[in-house]
Chains A and B, each alone.
Chain A
């Protein structure tokens, strides 16, 4: 394996990690602040992608499509919070899992009812369609660089929001003691709706960004949801910093594991066995990573007990 190929694979890992971060950030905020397990987060990702595909199809503008994904997913998130989730805060986690699982089914079949069973078309904007040549002669798709850039900007924005603004203070306070901040006169239900809509908007944006290079179809959110849960468990529940580090770790492990494991095993066994054992091990690698992290840090990398 050449150094160039390795660098390209590291970039791929970063890009998939950044996308996971957008999903995991919302999930970890909602879990950390409200104590709610939201399985329907993947459906918000799907709603973002479908909104983007519909608007891109109607207007041809990718920027408008991204705006539409943010607005639609945030609106859907707010409606879901007010209509369903609000009733679940006092219930135990099993009730939350049941209710949000029902939301997955309702949103999936609702999307199918509105858009049909066949995948939708959403492509990257023409200006970013091809590869660019990076220093060192690496040819890398321009659109994936954009994803990395957008993800980093959003990560920075979230840190500022949490660390430097009044809402950030309320969010952090809500994480540590929600009765107390309600007693201090913060409108906790408005805060919850806001956080839920913010998390939903991030998921919707991730869906739209990824939908352009993947398939916009019903059920696209569930595989990502599982990875996002792995990320927040590794990073520590409720921690944005943990979500970022966890997402990058998972993205890099997933990508590099799939490439390096078959290669490493081909030294000790024949090529076809190395391929199949290597790909099987690679699919397990992120879960092994999660297990190892939990053995040494039971609350995750940045979690507090």
Chain B
């Protein structure tokens, strides 16, 4: 399958080069191997679905293996020898910090389909950097607001690294209520028995946690087996389609916040879900939706302006003139999204474990760092 997609990418690339000399050349650096490859593959597939058959866009795809040094090398190669106009694809905040400032400083456009480190939203913002996903704190700020209404103490848990601390800081920024305990675990930890025992012993009424990827799978399975029955919630990264299948029934009932869900009733979303499933034989995740929106945004700008005219192309990007599968989507003053964030619940549809929307957690949410950005 991967080979076929590569072939398709090459064909798209070849077509682009042949048909139209003044198309947009896009360099995608994303994680396609090693741990966390599922996220990069979803972003890539979503993006390719959005630009399928579009002759204006020529795509070069490279695998960063989730390593900052490799991402930097690939970025240099794309800028200097491939001479791309636009870059995109990076999943992880630490890789984005290594690549994005250098790329934008060399006059390239960067569209972030996933990472949203606070440094690039505040003082480090750039006119050529557009975040199409979220600022890192967004989902947990919305969750903090949504959970404030419910009485009770909250037990917080996240891995001890910058994104974990950012996300907990986002939660504490908006949460009105008492924090029973705050626990930071090792990054990559796989056994949560000790933390679960602390949860059982604490007087918390519910658990709010951020554990992306395999860490979240381990925690949810162990939590379900422990007999602790406090409700759990977290940002969507711990409950996304790519990992729900591995958690199984243990996740059912968990609440999570996200800007998108496959049952979101906005124009184009049902078509996107159906097209993605038909093309790749699996359900899209939030990462696939972000990749798809990034592709749509790029196509909308490429249709309006020539990338050689940077000011016009920038204005076309900023206008965000496309129908996002999230519904409302616009850019704030720091080129980060202003969007609604929903509360989702994990449910079982037949044999399939998936999410459905149960309410809106935040309307027109924007990030708190925009004030520090002087664009």
User: What residues of chain A have their CB less than 8 Å away from a CB belonging to chain B?
Assistant: 1-2, 4-5, 8-9, 12, 15-16, 108-109, 112, 117-121, 123-124, 129-131, 139, 141-144, 210, 212-220, 223-224, 255-256, 258-259, 262, 271-272, 275-276, 279-280, 282-283
B194 touches A258 (CB 8 A): yes
CB contact between A119 and one of B160, B198, B246 (< 8 Å): that residue: B246
Residue of A nearest to B202 (CB): A5
Give B163-185 interface residues, CB cut-off 8 Å to A.
Answer: 182-185
A117 touches B38 (CB 8 A): yes
Task: A2 to B202: give the CA distance in the assembly, Å.
Answer: 11
A5 touches B197 (CB 8 A): yes
B190 touches A109 (CB 8 A): no
7 tightest Cβ-Cβ pairs between the two chains A and B = A215-B214, A131-B227, A215-B217, A119-B246, A12-B193, A214-B218, A117-B37
Kindly list chain A residues whose C-beta atoms are within 8 Å of the C-beta of B245.
118-119, 121
Chain A CB within 8 A of B86 CB: no
Chain A CB within 8 A of B186 CB: yes
Kindly list chain A residues whose C-beta atoms are within 8 Å of the C-beta of B152.
none
Chain A CB within 8 A of B268 CB: no
**CB 8 Å contact bits of B193-230 with A (1 = contact, 0 = none):** 11101101100000000000111011001101111000
Nearest-neighbour CB distance to chain B for A51, whole angstroms, equals 16
A259 touches B198 (CB 8 A): yes
Chain A CB within 8 A of B243 CB: yes
Chain A CB within 8 A of B35 CB: yes
Task: A220 to B215: give the CA distance in the assembly, Å.
Answer: 11
B35 touches A218 (CB 8 A): yes
Kindly list chain A residues whose C-beta atoms are within 8 Å of the C-beta of B195.
258
CB contact between A214 and one of B35, B186, B217, B248 (< 8 Å): that residue: B217
Contacts known (A143-B225, A217-B214, A275-B184); A223 close to B201, Cβ less than 8 A = no
B225 touches A141 (CB 8 A): yes
**CB 8 Å contact bits of B41-56 with A (1 = contact, 0 = none):** 1000000000000000
Contacts known (A9-B194, A118-B38, A219-B35); A141 close to B246, Cβ less than 8 A = no
B221 touches A219 (CB 8 A): no
Task: A279 to B181: give the CA distance in the assembly, Å.
Answer: 14
B214 touches A214 (CB 8 A): yes
B193 touches A5 (CB 8 A): no
Chain A CB within 8 A of B188 CB: yes
Task: A262 to B197: give the CA distance in the assembly, Å.
Answer: 15
A215 touches B225 (CB 8 A): no
A118 touches B227 (CB 8 A): no
Nearest-neighbour CB distance to chain B for A248, whole angstroms, equals 15
Task: A215 to B225: give the CA distance in the assembly, Å.
Answer: 14
Chain A CB within 8 A of B242 CB: yes
Task: A144 to B191: give the CA distance in the assembly, Å.
Answer: 11
B227 touches A123 (CB 8 A): no
CB contact between B243 and one of A119, A129, A275 (< 8 Å): that residue: A119
Contacts known (A109-B33, A118-B242, A219-B35); A255 close to B194, Cβ less than 8 A = yes
Kindly list chain A residues whose C-beta atoms are within 8 Å of the C-beta of B200.
5, 8, 139
Chain A CB within 8 A of B15 CB: no
Chain A CB within 8 A of B107 CB: no
Task: A281 to B222: give the CA distance in the assembly, Å.
Answer: 24
Residue of A nearest to B221 (CB): A213
Kindly list chain A residues whose C-beta atoms are within 8 Å of the C-beta of B184.
275-276, 279
